Chain A
Amino acid sequence: MRKIGVMALAATLLAGTFGITPLKAEQGKPGGTLVMGTTQKARHLNPAVQSGIATAVPGTQIFATPLRIDENWQPQPYLAESWNVSQDGRSITLNLRKNARFHDGEPITSEDVKFSIETVKTNHPFKSMFEPVENVDTSDPHIAIITFSKSHPAALLAMSSALLPIIPKHVYGDGQDLKSHPMNNAPVGSGPFKFKEFKPGEYIILEKNSDYFLEGRPYLDKIIIKNYKDTTSLALATDKGEVTMFPFLSSTKDIRRLKKNDDLVVTSKGYEAVGPMNWLAFNTNNEILKNEKVRQAIAYGFDRNFITNALHGGQSTAATGPVAPGSPFYAADVEKFELDIEKANKLLDEAGYKPGEDGMRFKLKLDYIPGAAEMQKSVAEYLKPQLKKIGVDVELRASPDFPTWAKRVGGHDFDMSLDIVFNWGDPVIGVHRTYSCENIRKGVIWSNTQSYCNGKVDGLLKLAAEEQDTDKRIALYQEAQEIIVSEAPLAFINTLPYHTAYSKKLGNPPLTVWGAMSPLDEVYFK
């Protein structure tokens, strides 16, 4: 169990910086319907084969995972009442609860764990989560022993939230393609809430699982996840009290508006594991941008404070490196690229790009994700005149819809693009993909679309992925981040101001590092 100790240490460090004292869940009282509002439309409800918030929020209510992570990044027992990591880190033993049953009454066995890990390994887009898994021993129905080809400390976090839902083999193991399995729309899990009804694009209704393996929970009778067509109408509905909880609220004017409502609590807690970042990506294959000095100059050429304070009204925070602040692996001690026009001009001069008669040195296109105005289009509109000051002529290239943008950036057909990418808890899951040489995969969005490749960084990331000692792991990531930040394959801008607005009547709101993407079995109405 030394892993837990180390995680706890990291957590204490983190708690120190943020002044968090671990919350003890209050005793709740049963009853009530929670109405959750969202603008994200779920394609289906099986998170084993689908990433993203829209599936994860209902998915974590329907499916239980082996572990859950608390507000201090500590793994806690869930389906596994205890677990053990071997000395060499190459195997994890999960001791499953003997009373745990699926919603259809079948008991949960190690076979289901094995089947779930295999399903996620082959079907989930986050390949790195279980890629090193070699075998899952199922000789005891209540003990699953997972062996890895190498030590894999990210595995514990990958067994929480929506990342490793334990899906019943007797339902999903009938040989049909898991990605289009009919039961993805009427899922059978073992979580605190049972599937009742799903009307795509409109609502999802979940009902209390009275046979839940944790005694006395959940408290709520029902959860309704209601789709709204835009955040403005959702914010209005929350303001009026029609919606009890509005997670992933990111529009800064809606945050300000809802903060004024005395019946609501609006908090930014609960998104530490998501780690949502907004950045400016450079295509390092571009003739001009392959020069490190040009990229650094652009990073020095704009003011993050303007974006976070003026544009986002102080609701977002500046991002400084690959790992989002709030993670134990965040590196605070890196080059911050604070606005320095003089330095930017000097770097561009050194790179050999002298200003022409019109003061411009070269022209670059800038893409951005359509539909996310505050984080993307507005930032692009700010960068255009701002970068003119250092002689970079920016042409904005609008994409009519998301697929068009994804095709351009995924296909490496871009000069610069604003992009939003999530950390997903452990750097192995959400950070490595942006920087490792082997993940330069044309056609895949949110891979290493910058085509950045540095052997040293690659080596450090590989070492960090296997390092069991959290302090050493932190040090490896620190070193990797220093190099990445200074070579600037991306200019980091800000973290998304995700907030949760919830009614003051709610007790035990979901404020762990996974926020609303964790089981709401402790939530109750006061």
Chain B
Amino acid sequence: MTVTSDQNLHISSQSPLKEVARAFRQSWAGMLGLVLLFLVCVFCLAGPFIYMVDPFEVIWAPLTPPGEVANVPLGTDYLGRDILAGLIHGGASTLFVGLVAGVLTMTIGILVGSIAGYYGGMVDEALMRLTEFFQVLPALLFAMVLVTLFTPSIYVVSIAIGIVSWPATARLTRAEFLRIRNLEYVNAARSIGARNNRIIWRVILPNALAPLIVSATLTVGIAILFEAGLSFLGLGDPNVFSWGMMIGAGREYILDGWWTISFPGLMIFLTVLGFSLIGDGLNDAFNPKLRER
């Protein structure tokens, strides 16, 4: 099924999602973000099959500048490992951490926020106090404690980021639920005997999704930055390449080898920019007031 993008033809029969998709495609920011992210994904996922260099292998003299030797196009780091191979392999784990942490953040946040927002009263009080407890903890410090308690590994890092970042999502979800729970269509669902479970997940949530999807894309970007921060502080997984780890390890050599941190920094920048632009595009697309322009 193709969706028509003809401006003059948006008569009623379009489904809301298609409406959004059409609007999204008109948003230059969103499309640019999508293209960026697509390129990053191709780079990371297809890269290992095209550029077959082990990122851990010492292949050339340490701190060889980019372009000096043909077989190490982006130069080498302080050990003599290929930066390009590091970028390719680091991307997969960086994206992995971003996605896992993003999914975890959204899952906990939506679960807590929707239950609190829907039931209200004591349940709301209790869950919101819990949320506030997590919110007042300094996120980076708390994540560092979690990673310190368990041995730093890519899974622990992802989970730690998820655990510290869900409160914002929970509050957002709760606010949406508070707004929607007394609207007519919810009352209508209730009047035909729908159970709470059904109302929460099938009636309210789909209508609350718009801001949550926007927030999810931003969350992934934030999680990637968070992972970079932890790795920068030396709390990343040393057995896995990640962009943050490359920057953290290379910062000592910034005066002797700018390329050791510039390239991974650029990759993080592009990826996070990609997610942010998509979030921006979705925000525009979900907003009916902007859609008509």
Interface SS majority for chain A: helix
In chain B, what residue has the closest Cβ to A396? B238
Q: Nearest Cβ in chain A — how far from B77, in angstroms?
A: 9
B288 in contact (CB, < 8 A): no
CA distance A373 to B250 in the complex (A): 10
Partner of B252, one of A253, A398, A401: A253
Given A373-B252, A377-B249, A384-B56, the answer on whether A310 and B238 have CB atoms closer than 8 Å is no
- Assess A311 versus B239: contact at CB under 8 Å? Given A232-B252, A253-B256, A400-B147: no
Task: Tell me which residues across on chain B come within 8 A of A378, comparing CB atoms.
Answer: 78-79, 249
The minimal Cβ–Cβ distance linking B172 to chain A, given in whole angstroms, is 32
User: What per-residue 1/0 map shows which CB atoms of A356-399 lie under 8 Å from chain B?
Assistant: 00000000000000110110011011101110100000011110
* B58 pairs with A386, CB closer than 8 A: yes
Is the CB–CB distance between A400 and B58 below 8 Å? no
Q: Which residue of chain B is the closest to A379 with respect to CB atoms?
A: B79
Assuming A385-B57, A400-B152, A401-B148, is B80 touching A310 (CB within 8 A)?
A: yes
In the bound complex, residues from chain B placing their C-beta under 8 Å from that of A386 are 58
> Which residues on the A side are within 8 Å of B79 (C-beta)?
311, 378, 381-382
Give the interface size bracket for B toward A: 20 to 34
Task: Report A359 CB to chain B, min CB distance, Å.
Answer: 13
Residue of A nearest to B149 (CB): A400
Say whether B228 faces chain A, with CB atoms less than 8 Å apart.
no
- Taking the closest CB of chain B, its distance from the CB of A145, in whole angstroms, is 53
Q: Is A404 an interface residue (CB 8 A)?
A: yes
| Cα distance, A402 to B58, chains bound together (Å) | 28
Give chain B residues whose Cβ lies under 8 Å from the Cβ of A371. Answer: 234
Q: Judge whether B238 and A400 touch: CB under 8 Å.
A: no
B88 interfacial contact with A, CB 8 Å: no
B253 touches A385 (CB 8 A): no
Contacts of A373 in B (CB 8 A): 249, 252
CB pair A310 B61 closer than 8 Å:
yes
A382 touching B58, Cβ below 8 Å: yes
Most buried by A among B78, B147, B236: B78
Query: Do A385 and B238 touch (CB < 8 A)?
Result: no
Interface residues of A in 473-507 (CB under 8 A from B): none
A311→B148 contact, CB < 8 A: no
Q: Are B239 and A400 in contact, with the CB atoms below 8 A? A: no
A311 touches B78 (CB 8 A): yes
Query: In the complex, which residue of chain A has the Cβ closest to the Cβ of B147?
Result: A400
Q: Measured between C-beta atoms, what is the minimum distance from B69 to chain A in Å?
A: 15
CA distance A509 to B252 in the complex (A): 29
B54 within 8 A of A: yes
CB contacts (< 8 Å) of A253 on chain B: these are 252-253, 255-256
Chain B 212-248, CB-CB to A under 8 Å as 1, else 0, gives 0000000000000000000000111111000000000
List residues of chain B with CB within 8 A of the CB of A377: 234, 238, 249
Q: Does B48 contact A (CB under 8 A)?
A: no
Q: Which one of A251, A253, A374, A401 has the highest number of Cβ atoms from chain B below 10 Å of its Cβ? A: A253
Q: Are B235 and A400 in contact (CB under 8 A)?
A: yes
Q: Which of B47-98 contact A (CB under 8 A)?
A: 54, 56-58, 61-62, 78-81
In this complex, the interface size class of chain A, counting residues with CB under 8 Å from chain B, is: 20 to 34
| Binary B-proximity of A33-65 (CB < 8 A = 1, otherwise 0) | 000000000000000000000000000000000
B62, B236, B239: the one within 8 Å of A310 (CB): B62
Provide the residues of chain A in CB contact with B148, threshold 8 Å. 400-401, 404
- With both beta carbons as reference points, the residue of chain B lying nearest to A380 in the complex is identified as B238
Known contacts A382-B58, A385-B56; A396/B239 CB under 8 A: yes
Compute how far the CA of A373 lies from the CA of B148 in the bound complex, rounded to whole angstroms: 18
CB-CB nearest in chain B for A366: B238
Q: Which chain B residue has the least Cβ–Cβ distance from A251?
A: B252
**Chain A positions 8 through 49: 1 when the CB is less than 8 Å from some CB of chain B, otherwise 0:** 000000000000000000000000000000000000000000
Contact of B234 among A385, A398, A404 (CB under 8 A): A398
Q: CA of A234 to CA of B146 in the docked complex: distance in angstroms?
A: 32
Indicate whether B187 reaches chain A with its CB closer than 8 angstroms.
no
Complex-state Cα separation, A404 to B152, whole angstroms: 12
Closest-CB distance, A409 to chain B (whole angstroms): 14
B-chain residues with CB within 8 Å of residue A388 when the two chains form the complex: 56
Once the chains bind, are A395 and B239 in contact (CB under 8 Å)?
Answer: yes
- Chain B residues contacting A306 (CB-CB under 8 Å) are 58
Whether A311 and B62, one on each chain, are in contact in the complex, defined by CB atoms closer than 8 angstroms, is yes
- Closest residue of chain A to B150 (Cβ to Cβ) is A400
| Chain B, range 21-64, C-beta contacts under 8 Å to A | 54, 56-58, 61-62
State whether the Cβ of B182 lies closer than 8 Å to any Cβ in chain A.
no
Q: Kindly report which residue of chain B lies nearest to residue A310, judged by CB atoms.
A: B62
B196 at the interface (CB under 8 A from A): no
**A contact residues around B61 at 8 Å (CB):** 310
B102 CB, min distance to chain A CBs, angstroms: 24
Q: Which residues of B contact A396 (CB under 8 A)?
A: 238-239
Q: Report 22 cross-chain contacts, Cβ distance below 8 Å, ordered by A residue.
A: A253-B252, A253-B253, A257-B255, A310-B62, A310-B80, A311-B78, A371-B234, A373-B252, A378-B79, A381-B238, A382-B79, A385-B57, A385-B58, A388-B56, A395-B239, A398-B237, A398-B238, A400-B144, A400-B147, A400-B148, A401-B148, A404-B148
Interface residues of B (CB under 8 A from A): 54, 56-58, 61-62, 78-81, 144, 147-148, 151-152, 234-239, 249, 252-253, 255-256
- 10 additional A-B pairs beyond A386-B58, A396-B238, beta carbons within 8 Å, are A253-B255, A311-B78, A374-B252, A377-B234, A377-B249, A380-B238, A388-B56, A395-B239, A396-B239, A401-B148
Pairs A-B, 6 closest by C-beta atoms: A400-B148, A396-B238, A385-B56, A385-B57, A398-B238, A398-B152
